[in-house]
Structure 1
Amino acid sequence: MNKQKLSLRLYQLVIMLITPILILVFLIRSLNHKEYRQRLSERFGWTSSNLKPGGIVVHAASVGEVIAVTPFVEELLVQQPDLPITVTTFTPTGSAQVIKSFQNRVQHCYLPLDISFCVHLFFKFLKPKAVVLMETEIWPTLIQRCHKSGVKLLLINGRLSGKSLKSYKKISWLIKPALNKFSAILCQSEDNLENFIHLGAKPEILSNSGNLKYDISITDDVQNKISKLQQCIANDRTIMVVGSTHQGEEIQLINAFKRLKENHQNLLLVLVPRHPERFSSVGKICQEQELNVVTRSSKQQVNAEHDVWLIDTLGELLPVYALADICIVAGSFSDVGGHNPLEAALFSKPILVGENMANFKDINAKFIAAKAIVQLKDNLDLTAELSTLIDDQALCIELGKNAEKLVKSNQGATVTSANTLKSLINI
């Protein structure tokens, strides 16, 4: 047995050993979210008999990836009308987003655990012509099965940060062979492309296609959601939206909000937690801080006496950004590494982020260069920077226009990615 096969066998053995732990995690999470114990058979590759085989499988792990890959899937539906498109996810929230975005226009199931017999069942049912993975979704067993079965394998929106590069190098014996089984790897930027090369990917399968996340647009569905959200706010307010918050970040934003409220009585804080399981805990934090909070799920009107509007529903971050006077992208006030500022930019909004935007290094650098974002050098400056934005309308307009222009000028990765897949299928 050669070194590559031995490495893959070792990986598969480890995955099998930790599978009971993964199932236990699903069951524990299901105590508060029943979705985690539903459709467990799909985790083991047993898909519905209603799914048509012989098409294209596109994997998007969770909500953010589903949103990013949506234009690409829409392009596939136009380019490949005769092939069934199956969009897989790994989280229930991602699953819900697929259903919201596409209804019955695509097939959907969970991607199975990366274990030989699970992947075997998955392929037996779906018999795909091509499999498309995103960003850093590298599943060695799935990749090996594609290679062995002659299934075209494409990585789109390839992302490999310096931090991830260091981590992957520790298991390069496993990752390098997997990378070189891809038919093509389309990277977000030259920095990411160079990191893939440093990890051992062959230069001939790599190219810089740009970032899919720029290819967003205001659809009719989004516009309808915006209209519904606007009707929820009874009074004219200065709205500060904080998107995709993580544990520990809400209290930072709430403290800044309370200081700002002293001079800006009309200010409304809109909090959008990243993970649904934290909705209730974020509500409790607001109450503990003696803030008057109203939840989106309650469908109550946001009145003048309300301090915080908690968006405890799924799929409404993008439209709620449209209501904002100032957009704050969270994940950047902790060690998470930030989240996507492009959604706020689409609406020509002024954007503020914290110190840590490591996950969006390339995008953030472009925003800074274009004077399209305010990034804190020290998170302690949060209140002062927000106060400046609230008071300087001209600055907000300039930041918003620059941000929207930057998004529009960097679009095009979707068509490039779809055309690459089409050429691979037609070889």
Structure 2
Amino acid sequence: MLTRWLYTLAFYLALPMLLFRLHKRVKKNPAYRHRVRERFGLYPPGKPLQNTLWFHTVSVGEFLAAKPLIDRILATYPNSPCLITTMTPTGSERVQKAYSEQLASGKLHHVYLPYDLPDALSRFLKRFNPKVLVIMETELWPNMIHYTRQRGVPIIVANARLSEKSANGYRRILPLFRPMMREVALIAAQSDADGERFVEMGLPPRNLQVTGTVKFDLDIKPDTVTEARALREHWGGQRKVFIAASTHEGEDEQVLEAFLYLRSKVPESLLVIVPRHPERFEDVANLISARGLNMSRVSKQDPIVADTDVILGDTMGELLKMLGAADVAFIGGSLVPVGGHNMLEALAMGVPALTGPHVFNFQVVAQMLTELGVLKTVTTPLGLGQAVEALFNDEETRYALSKRGKYVVEENRGAMDRLFGLICQHIS
């Protein structure tokens, strides 16, 4: 308890820095001004909700993983209010876009998670009165966990993962982390290794279930496949397309270097590069231009012509169909130590996938896919370029990987059903 008090004191002392950061964000995006109060648990006058089903998804990736689960919960408990909290503007935008009708009708609610301060959390909890809290993956805040549990609310960490790297970090603050583990009702871990690390960190073994990862339970709609085919024709049906998805700072340069090599070997190659964060779109556009490459930007609806070298995917919500329109995909966040991103989306769309070595956020999935022969790891720009070249020049292997990748995803579905059942037990 003393450790959490010291943590809280440090958080209060850091408030001036947080306020300065908020001020910078408002200057950059004036629309964000209207959401600042949510960070402190301050809301417009309104009647408090009761027995709210609360889902916390930190950002876009966690929300997309949770959406099929949220949809099922909404359908199963139509009379219970539902709340989705996020931490990032991009995550918030995706929630508002996906659930515009439910938000307008008042069936579903969305706010930013308040800062992890007792007074902000008290106001938040009094306003929304949750019946259950479902946290996607591992977004654990000491005061959020403590004050939510203090109100008798069961806390479920769904699709939970704890890499060895993250566990090493938490070991340094074990007196703060261990009490949280005792207040969690259930951790539904992605793998045995994740579960063992949670138990080592203080989780009672009876509160652990290994359910697998919901990332295999992708919801690929027929419209998405149709849109991907149309997009491929728009890009030029005869050209070979290499997509670099969810790239990060320090990675785009490596992708462009790989593409320059690739173009020297396969001149008709077309690169599609999709940065992970929208605030980097302009920086990546400048990197492309600096290399003398002809660029078309999706946001500006630039025409795709014969001498277009690079398409910059500078929009949100279109990555899945872009993946489906490519011949080979590189999944970003992996040539730099970010931890990787979801390589299953490419496989589910029938596109062979490549990744860098830094996949600690997807360690179990990446190892499994590698052992099954549907994921290849590259470590350098040259290695990336050569791997894409090899696949471009071997249509038979490319087709076989496409079929096998889709099969592997289909065969490993089921975590969503297991999670849904466990959550319903706690709601009931």
On whether the aligned pair clears a TM of 0.5, the verdict is yes
Residue by residue over 1:23-44, the C-alpha shift from the partner in whole angstroms, topping out at 9 and shown as x without a partner, is 3223223433334433111111
SS in structure 1 at match of 2:351: coil
Contact 2:261–2:385 at 8 Å: present in 1 too? yes
The one-letter code of the counterpart of 1:299 is: Q
Q: Within 2, Cα distance between the matches of 1:6 and 1:313?
A: 46
Q: Within 1, Cα distance between the matches of 2:218 and 2:361?
A: 19
The aligned counterpart of 1:47 is 43
1:361 counterpart (353, 363, 374): 363
**Mind listing any 5+ residue stretches in structure 2 that lack a counterpart?**
103-107
Relative to structure 1, the CA distance from residue 224 to residue 28 in structure 2 (aligned partners, 3 Å threshold; closer, same or farther) is farther
The aligned counterpart of 1:34 is 30
Instruction: Within 5 Å, give how 1:11-410 maps onto structure 2.
Output: 11-48=7-44, 49=46, 52-105=49-102, 106-219=108-221, 222-223=224-225, 226=228, 229-230=231-232, 232-233=234-235, 236-376=238-378, 380-410=382-412
Q: Within 2, Cα distance between the matches of 1:99 and 1:51?
A: 21
Q: How many residues align?
A: 422
SS in structure 2 at match of 1:129: strand
Q: TM-score, normalised by structure 1?
A: 0.94
The aligned counterpart of 2:415 is 413
The one-letter code of the counterpart of 2:153 is: V
Q: Within 2, Cα distance between the matches of 1:88 and 1:378?
A: 38
Q: CA deviation at 1:217?
A: 1.6
* Most deviating of 223-232 and 58-67: 223-232
* Most deviating of 293-302 and 16-25: 16-25
The aligned counterpart of 2:105 is none
The one-letter code of the counterpart of 1:387 is: E
The one-letter code of the counterpart of 1:351 is: A
Q: CA deviation at 1:376?
A: 1.9
* Most deviating of 35-44 and 219-228: 219-228
The one-letter code of the counterpart of 2:168 is: K
Q: Within 2, Cα distance between the matches of 1:319 and 1:390?
A: 20
The one-letter code of the counterpart of 1:171 is: I
Relative to structure 1, the CA distance from residue 119 to residue 363 in structure 2 (aligned partners, 3 Å threshold; closer, same or farther) is same
Q: Within 1, Cα distance between the matches of 2:152 and 2:138?
A: 22
Q: CA deviation at 1:378?
A: 5.1
Relative to structure 1, the CA distance from residue 47 to residue 211 in structure 2 (aligned partners, 3 Å threshold; closer, same or farther) is farther
SS in structure 1 at match of 2:265: coil
Contact 2:49–2:129 at 8 Å: present in 1 too? no
Q: Within 2, Cα distance between the matches of 1:180 and 1:397?
A: 49
Q: Within 2, Cα distance between the matches of 1:135 and 1:72?
A: 13
Q: Within 1, Cα distance between the matches of 2:40 and 2:211?
A: 33
SS in structure 2 at match of 1:269: strand
The one-letter code of the counterpart of 1:41 is: R
Q: CA deviation at 1:391?
A: 0.4
Contact 1:243–1:273 at 8 Å: present in 2 too? yes
The one-letter code of the counterpart of 1:323 is: A
Contact 1:217–1:346 at 8 Å: present in 2 too? no
Contact 1:238–1:268 at 8 Å: present in 2 too? yes
Q: Within 1, Cα distance between the matches of 2:40 and 2:411?
A: 43
Over aligned residue pairs, what C-alpha RMSD do you find? 1.8
Q: Within 1, Cα distance between the matches of 2:317 and 2:185?
A: 33
Q: Within 2, Cα distance between the matches of 1:383 and 1:236?
A: 20
Q: Within 1, Cα distance between the matches of 2:158 and 2:351?
A: 28
In the alignment, structure 1 residue 6 sits paired with structure 2 residue 8: no
Q: Within 2, Cα distance between the matches of 1:104 and 1:16?
A: 37
Contact 2:329–2:354 at 8 Å: present in 1 too? yes
Q: TM-score, normalised by structure 2?
A: 0.94
Q: CA deviation at 1:55?
A: 1.4
Residue by residue over 1:83-125, the C-alpha shift from the partner in whole angstroms, topping out at 9 and shown as x without a partner, is 1111111111001111222223232111111100110010111
Residue by residue over 1:232-277, the C-alpha shift from the partner in whole angstroms, topping out at 9 and shown as x without a partner, is 4256321111001011111111111112112322211000001111
* Most deviating of 356-365 and 25-34: 25-34
Q: CA deviation at 1:54?
A: 2.3
Q: CA deviation at 1:72?
A: 1.0
Contact 2:261–2:382 at 8 Å: present in 1 too? no
SS in structure 1 at match of 2:300: coil
Q: Within 2, Cα distance between the matches of 1:46 and 1:351?
A: 44
Contact 1:33–1:277 at 8 Å: present in 2 too? no
SS in structure 1 at match of 2:244: strand
Relative to structure 1, the CA distance from residue 39 to residue 224 in structure 2 (aligned partners, 3 Å threshold; closer, same or farther) is farther
**Mind listing any 5+ residue stretches in structure 1 that lack a counterpart?**
none
Q: CA deviation at 1:65?
A: 0.8
Contact 1:351–1:400 at 8 Å: present in 2 too? no
